Structure 1
Amino acid sequence: MALRPFLLLLLLAATLLITQAQGIGSSASDCCLKHSRKAIPSSVVTSYRIQGPESGCLLPSVVFTTKRKRKICASPMDSAVQKLMQDLDKKAKNDKSSKKGQTQRPRRKPRKQRRQRA
Protein backbone atom coordinates (compact mmCIF):
# COMPACT_ATOMS: atom_id res chain seq x y z
CA MET A 1 0.00 0.00 0.00
CA ALA A 2 2.92 2.39 0.61
CA LEU A 3 3.92 1.89 -3.00
CA ARG A 4 0.94 3.87 -4.38
CA PRO A 5 1.89 7.32 -2.97
CA PHE A 6 5.49 6.72 -4.09
CA LEU A 7 4.37 5.97 -7.67
CA LEU A 8 2.12 9.01 -7.70
CA LEU A 9 4.98 11.22 -6.53
CA LEU A 10 7.30 9.69 -9.14
CA LEU A 11 4.75 10.33 -11.90
CA LEU A 12 4.33 13.94 -10.79
CA ALA A 13 8.11 14.51 -10.77
CA ALA A 14 8.46 12.99 -14.26
CA THR A 15 5.69 15.24 -15.58
CA LEU A 16 7.39 18.34 -14.18
CA LEU A 17 10.73 17.35 -15.71
CA ILE A 18 9.18 16.78 -19.14
CA THR A 19 7.40 20.13 -19.16
CA GLN A 20 10.61 21.92 -18.18
CA ALA A 21 12.55 20.12 -20.92
CA GLN A 22 9.96 21.18 -23.52
CA GLY A 23 10.13 24.80 -22.38
CA ILE A 24 6.48 25.11 -21.40
CA GLY A 25 6.06 28.27 -19.37
CA SER A 26 9.35 29.67 -20.58
CA SER A 27 9.45 33.31 -21.69
CA ALA A 28 12.35 32.57 -24.04
CA SER A 29 10.09 30.98 -26.66
CA ASP A 30 9.63 34.29 -28.50
CA CYS A 31 13.29 35.32 -28.66
CA CYS A 32 14.79 36.76 -31.82
CA LEU A 33 17.21 34.45 -33.57
CA LYS A 34 18.45 37.03 -36.09
CA HIS A 35 18.09 40.72 -36.92
CA SER A 36 16.30 42.14 -39.92
CA ARG A 37 18.61 43.99 -42.29
CA LYS A 38 15.83 45.92 -44.03
CA ALA A 39 14.96 49.49 -43.11
CA ILE A 40 11.91 49.69 -40.85
CA PRO A 41 9.44 52.42 -41.87
CA SER A 42 8.31 54.47 -38.88
CA SER A 43 4.79 54.70 -40.30
CA VAL A 44 4.10 51.00 -39.67
CA VAL A 45 5.60 50.69 -36.17
CA THR A 46 3.43 51.20 -33.08
CA SER A 47 5.67 50.07 -30.21
CA TYR A 48 8.86 48.28 -29.23
CA ARG A 49 10.41 46.22 -26.47
CA ILE A 50 14.01 45.35 -25.68
CA GLN A 51 15.11 41.75 -25.23
CA GLY A 52 18.39 40.38 -23.99
CA PRO A 53 19.98 38.10 -21.43
CA GLU A 54 17.84 39.56 -18.62
CA SER A 55 14.72 38.33 -20.44
CA GLY A 56 16.18 34.89 -21.13
CA CYS A 57 17.24 35.52 -24.73
CA LEU A 58 20.75 35.10 -26.10
CA LEU A 59 20.62 37.72 -28.86
CA PRO A 60 20.20 41.34 -27.67
CA SER A 61 17.48 42.85 -29.88
CA VAL A 62 14.85 45.52 -30.20
CA VAL A 63 11.51 43.95 -31.13
CA PHE A 64 9.21 46.36 -32.97
CA THR A 65 5.48 45.70 -33.21
CA THR A 66 3.72 46.87 -36.37
CA LYS A 67 0.14 48.02 -36.89
CA ARG A 68 -0.63 44.54 -38.23
CA LYS A 69 0.71 43.00 -34.99
CA ARG A 70 3.84 41.62 -36.66
CA LYS A 71 7.17 41.47 -34.84
CA ILE A 72 10.39 42.77 -36.39
CA CYS A 73 13.74 42.10 -34.71
CA ALA A 74 16.46 44.72 -35.09
CA SER A 75 19.92 45.38 -33.76
CA PRO A 76 20.01 47.78 -30.79
CA MET A 77 23.38 49.11 -32.05
CA ASP A 78 21.94 50.36 -35.36
CA SER A 79 21.59 54.17 -35.41
CA ALA A 80 18.32 54.02 -37.41
CA VAL A 81 16.85 51.67 -34.80
CA GLN A 82 17.88 53.99 -31.97
CA LYS A 83 16.31 56.97 -33.79
CA LEU A 84 13.07 55.02 -34.30
CA MET A 85 13.01 54.11 -30.60
CA GLN A 86 13.45 57.79 -29.64
CA ASP A 87 10.65 58.82 -32.00
CA LEU A 88 8.30 56.23 -30.48
CA ASP A 89 9.22 57.39 -26.96
CA LYS A 90 8.46 61.02 -27.88
CA LYS A 91 5.16 60.03 -29.47
CA ALA A 92 4.14 58.04 -26.38
CA LYS A 93 5.09 60.95 -24.11
CA ASN A 94 3.08 63.42 -26.21
CA ASP A 95 0.08 61.10 -26.24
CA LYS A 96 0.15 60.84 -22.44
CA SER A 97 0.43 64.60 -21.93
CA SER A 98 -2.38 65.39 -24.38
CA LYS A 99 -4.70 62.89 -22.68
CA LYS A 100 -4.05 64.38 -19.22
CA GLY A 101 -5.78 67.66 -20.03
CA GLN A 102 -8.89 66.07 -21.49
CA THR A 103 -11.93 65.48 -19.34
CA GLN A 104 -14.00 62.43 -20.03
CA ARG A 105 -17.51 63.06 -21.19
CA PRO A 106 -20.30 60.73 -20.20
CA ARG A 107 -21.16 58.24 -22.92
CA ARG A 108 -24.87 58.77 -22.72
CA LYS A 109 -27.15 61.41 -21.41
CA PRO A 110 -28.11 60.99 -17.76
CA ARG A 111 -31.62 59.74 -17.13
CA LYS A 112 -34.13 62.27 -16.01
CA GLN A 113 -34.90 61.87 -12.36
CA ARG A 114 -38.35 60.58 -11.63
CA ARG A 115 -40.61 62.89 -9.71
CA GLN A 116 -41.65 61.59 -6.38
CA ARG A 117 -45.36 61.55 -5.72
CA ALA A 118 -46.47 62.92 -2.41
Structure 2
Amino acid sequence: MALRLLLPLLLLTATLLITQAQGIGNLGMDCCLKNSQAQIPSNRVTSYTLQGPESGCALRAVVFTTKKNKKICASPTDPAVQKVMQNLDKKLRKDKKKGQPPRYRDRPRRQKQQRV
Protein backbone atom coordinates (compact mmCIF):
# COMPACT_ATOMS: atom_id res chain seq x y z
CA MET A 1 0.00 0.00 0.00
CA ALA A 2 2.83 2.42 0.81
CA LEU A 3 4.40 1.67 -2.58
CA ARG A 4 1.20 2.76 -4.36
CA LEU A 5 1.37 6.15 -2.65
CA LEU A 6 5.13 6.55 -3.03
CA LEU A 7 5.33 5.79 -6.76
CA PRO A 8 3.11 8.70 -7.98
CA LEU A 9 4.90 11.05 -5.59
CA LEU A 10 8.28 10.02 -7.03
CA LEU A 11 7.03 10.46 -10.60
CA LEU A 12 5.70 13.93 -9.79
CA THR A 13 9.00 14.95 -8.17
CA ALA A 14 11.02 13.66 -11.14
CA THR A 15 8.78 15.54 -13.59
CA LEU A 16 9.19 18.79 -11.66
CA LEU A 17 12.97 18.42 -11.52
CA ILE A 18 13.23 17.76 -15.26
CA THR A 19 10.98 20.73 -16.09
CA GLN A 20 13.07 23.08 -13.93
CA ALA A 21 16.34 21.77 -15.37
CA GLN A 22 15.18 22.52 -18.93
CA GLY A 23 14.59 26.17 -18.03
CA ILE A 24 18.04 26.67 -16.49
CA GLY A 25 19.80 27.03 -19.85
CA ASN A 26 17.94 30.25 -20.69
CA LEU A 27 18.39 32.17 -17.42
CA GLY A 28 21.16 34.47 -18.69
CA MET A 29 19.41 35.47 -21.90
CA ASP A 30 17.88 38.96 -22.03
CA CYS A 31 15.18 39.32 -24.64
CA CYS A 32 13.57 42.48 -25.93
CA LEU A 33 9.90 42.65 -25.00
CA LYS A 34 9.13 45.50 -27.42
CA ASN A 35 10.89 47.53 -30.08
CA SER A 36 11.76 51.18 -29.56
CA GLN A 37 10.09 53.70 -31.85
CA ALA A 38 12.76 56.36 -31.19
CA GLN A 39 15.43 57.29 -33.71
CA ILE A 40 18.62 55.23 -33.23
CA PRO A 41 21.64 57.53 -32.51
CA SER A 42 24.08 56.08 -35.04
CA ASN A 43 27.03 58.09 -33.69
CA ARG A 44 26.60 56.46 -30.26
CA VAL A 45 26.05 52.88 -31.41
CA THR A 46 29.07 50.55 -31.34
CA SER A 47 27.60 47.16 -32.27
CA TYR A 48 24.42 45.15 -32.78
CA THR A 49 23.09 41.62 -32.46
CA LEU A 50 20.01 39.93 -33.85
CA GLN A 51 17.49 38.18 -31.66
CA GLY A 52 14.58 35.94 -32.58
CA PRO A 53 13.06 32.53 -32.04
CA GLU A 54 16.35 30.84 -32.95
CA SER A 55 18.01 32.57 -29.96
CA GLY A 56 15.18 31.70 -27.57
CA CYS A 57 13.31 35.03 -27.73
CA ALA A 58 9.72 35.50 -28.86
CA LEU A 59 10.26 38.92 -30.50
CA ARG A 60 12.44 39.33 -33.58
CA ALA A 61 14.60 42.43 -33.04
CA VAL A 62 17.95 44.13 -33.57
CA VAL A 63 19.67 44.90 -30.27
CA PHE A 64 22.05 47.86 -30.57
CA THR A 65 24.75 48.45 -27.96
CA THR A 66 25.78 52.06 -27.28
CA LYS A 67 29.13 53.47 -26.14
CA LYS A 68 27.75 53.55 -22.59
CA ASN A 69 26.86 49.83 -22.90
CA LYS A 70 23.10 50.47 -23.03
CA LYS A 71 20.85 48.22 -25.12
CA ILE A 72 18.30 49.56 -27.62
CA CYS A 73 15.81 47.19 -29.25
CA ALA A 74 14.64 48.05 -32.77
CA SER A 75 12.60 46.49 -35.55
CA PRO A 76 14.75 44.69 -38.15
CA THR A 77 12.32 45.68 -40.93
CA ASP A 78 12.63 49.44 -40.30
CA PRO A 79 14.66 51.08 -43.12
CA ALA A 80 16.39 53.48 -40.70
CA VAL A 81 17.50 50.54 -38.55
CA GLN A 82 18.81 48.70 -41.60
CA LYS A 83 20.81 51.80 -42.59
CA VAL A 84 22.42 52.00 -39.12
CA MET A 85 23.28 48.28 -39.39
CA GLN A 86 24.88 48.82 -42.83
CA ASN A 87 26.90 51.78 -41.52
CA LEU A 88 28.17 49.69 -38.59
CA ASP A 89 29.13 46.88 -40.98
CA LYS A 90 31.05 49.34 -43.19
CA LYS A 91 32.81 50.80 -40.17
CA LEU A 92 33.78 47.33 -38.98
CA ARG A 93 35.21 46.43 -42.40
CA LYS A 94 37.12 49.72 -42.49
CA ASP A 95 38.55 49.12 -39.01
CA LYS A 96 39.67 45.61 -40.03
CA LYS A 97 41.51 47.07 -43.03
CA LYS A 98 43.29 49.57 -40.79
CA GLY A 99 44.67 46.69 -38.74
CA GLN A 100 46.44 45.20 -41.79
CA PRO A 101 49.90 46.39 -42.82
CA PRO A 102 49.93 48.75 -45.82
CA ARG A 103 50.28 47.18 -49.25
CA TYR A 104 53.34 48.29 -51.17
CA ARG A 105 53.76 48.31 -54.90
CA ASP A 106 56.00 45.71 -56.52
CA ARG A 107 58.35 48.20 -58.12
CA PRO A 108 60.99 50.05 -56.08
CA ARG A 109 60.57 53.68 -55.19
CA ARG A 110 62.04 56.20 -57.61
CA GLN A 111 65.26 57.80 -56.43
CA LYS A 112 65.68 61.56 -56.51
CA GLN A 113 68.31 62.78 -58.92
CA GLN A 114 71.17 64.60 -57.37
CA ARG A 115 72.18 67.97 -58.79
CA VAL A 116 75.77 68.51 -59.64
Cα distance change on mapping 1:27 and 1:87 into 2, 3 Å: farther
Please give the alpha-carbon distance, in whole angstroms, between the structure 1 residues aligned to 2:66 and 2:91.
15
RMSD over aligned Cα atoms: 2.6
Q: Which runs of 5 or more structure 2 residues have no equivalent in the other structure? A: 1-9, 103-116
For residues 1-118 of structure 1, the aligned pairs below 5 Å read 13=14, 14-20=16-22, 23-26=23-26, 29-101=29-101
Alpha-carbon distance in structure 2 between the residues aligned to 1:15 and 1:53:
25
Distance 1:67 1:38 in 2: 17
Q: Deviations over 1:39-96 (max 9, x none)?
A: 1111110000111122122211000011111111000111110000000000000000
Q: Secondary structure at the match of 2:24?
A: coil
Are the structure 2 counterparts of residues 27 and 60 from structure 1 closer, same or farther at C-alpha, using a change threshold of 3 Å?
A: farther
Asked whether the 8 Å contact 1:27–1:56 carries over to 2, the reply is no
Maintained 8 Å contact 1:27/1:55: no
Q: Secondary structure at the match of 2:54?
A: helix
- Aligned length, in residue pairs: 93
Report the structure number with the largest CA radius of gyration.
Answer: 2
If the length of structure 2 is used for normalisation, what is the TM-score?
A: 0.69
Contact 1:28 1:56 survives alignment (8 Å): no
- Alpha-carbon distance in structure 1 between the residues aligned to 2:45 and 2:24: 30
TM-score, normalised to structure 1, is: 0.67
Shift in Å, 1:29: 3.4
Cα distance in structure 1, aligned partners of 2:47 and 2:27:
19
Identity fraction in percent: 58
